[in-house]
Amino acid sequence: MRKRISLSLPDKMIKSVDAYAEALSDTRSGAIESILQEYMNAGRYCVILAGGGDYLITDGEYRPFMDIGGRTLIQRIVEKVVGQSYKNIIIIGTKEVVTRCFGILANGESLGCSVAYIEEKARGDSANTLKLASAKVKGTFLFVPCDHYFDFDLRKLEKVHRRSGYPATLAIYGGIRHDGNRSSVVELDGNDIINYWDTPSVEKTTLVSTMIAFAEPEIFTMIPDRKFSLHKDLFPELSKKGVLGGAILSGKFVNIHTKQDAEAARRLVK
């Protein structure tokens, strides 16, 4: 579906657009659309967290390479984010993991995206892995763990994040649990996360915090050089300070850590 809009532009800019349209053998409208699309895609980054080494292994296989309905989980994740226009992908992991990812995804051209790889040379925790992307991203970015199967409208999460002004905004899932009660949970007040519990022994709420989030580059300055976790350290700290956002998203979600989790994800694909 397309809608007609009107624009008021300076004469000099119109001449530049017309020259661009002529070079493309396209209309003025087509040239403007092309320029806008290039601009929107240029800054839409997604960082995929695949660090941790052996921590990612379940039943002898790294979780991002588990088969989920005929595709590896990493393929499912990349297809999902690229399908929502987050086309600059950065995958961070150990040498073995990023090498195997490259064997599946290459540079991303066949998927309509760009995929860059960062090797995690020193074992830290999830926040340390994220910090390795600091030199690659300059504006608002999405980050996703490599062991989440999901079917969320990420643009809704981005909209909430941009309105909040917070360093990070998490995707919150309130649907059917498939993870044996292993995920972190939160208490929400509107779109503000006022309490964050990492895998509590006693159920606090039914609102599951995923590790899918939008963040600002300032988040990198909040991660110390020592071993530091997103869900054990950073997110609880931000919630206590009142600067962690959250948005409840509908859709499918499985936090894959076991063979049974992978089977649950396969059932959701069908």
25-75: per-residue pLDDT in tens? Answer: 789 888 777 766 666 655 689 999 999 999 999 999 999 999 999 999 999
pLDDT for residue 37: 64
| Predicted TM-score of the model (pTM) | 0.85
More confident residue, 7 or 74: 74
- Please name the residue that has the structure tokens 């051209």: 109
Report how far apart the first and last C-alpha atoms of the chain are (Å, whole number). Answer: 28
Q: What is the mean pLDDT of residues 1-22?
A: 80
17 vs 193 pLDDT, higher one: 193
Q: What does the pLDDT read at residue 177?
A: 66
- How wide is the angle at C-alpha 267 spanned by C-alphas 252 and 263, nearest 5°? 105
Lowest mean pLDDT, pick from 7-16, 59-68, 217-226:
7-16
Annotate 174-192 with three-state secondary structure: CCCCCCCCCCEEEEEECCE
pLDDT at 263 over 90: yes
- Per-residue pLDDT, averaged over 127-142, amounts to 96
Q: How far apart are CA 126 and CA 116, in angstroms?
A: 19
Q: What is the pLDDT of residue 76?
A: 98
Cα gap 248→80, rounded to integer Å: 18
Give the rounded percent of residues in the chain with a pLDDT score beyond 70.
94
Q: For residues 91-112, give the mean pLDDT.
A: 97
- Mean pLDDT throughout 244-253? 95
Q: What's the chain's length in residues? A: 270
Mean pLDDT score across all residues of the chain = 91
* Residues 195-200, mean pLDDT to the nearest whole number: 88
Summarize the confidence of residues 215-221 as an average pLDDT. Answer: 98
Provide the pLDDT for residue 7: 83
Can you tell me the distance from the alpha carbon of 143 to that of 93, in angstroms, rounded to the nearest whole number? 14
180 pLDDT higher than 60: no
Domains and CATH numbers, the chain: 43-269 (3.90.550.10)
Count CB-CB contacts under 10 A for residue 95: 12
Q: What is the predicted pLDDT for the residue at 20?
A: 76
Residue 53, CA distances (Å) to 19, 57, 61, 96, 132 in order: 51, 8, 11, 8, 15
| pLDDT at position 149 | 96
Whether 16 shows a pLDDT value over 70: the answer reads yes
> Is residue 179 over pLDDT 60?
no
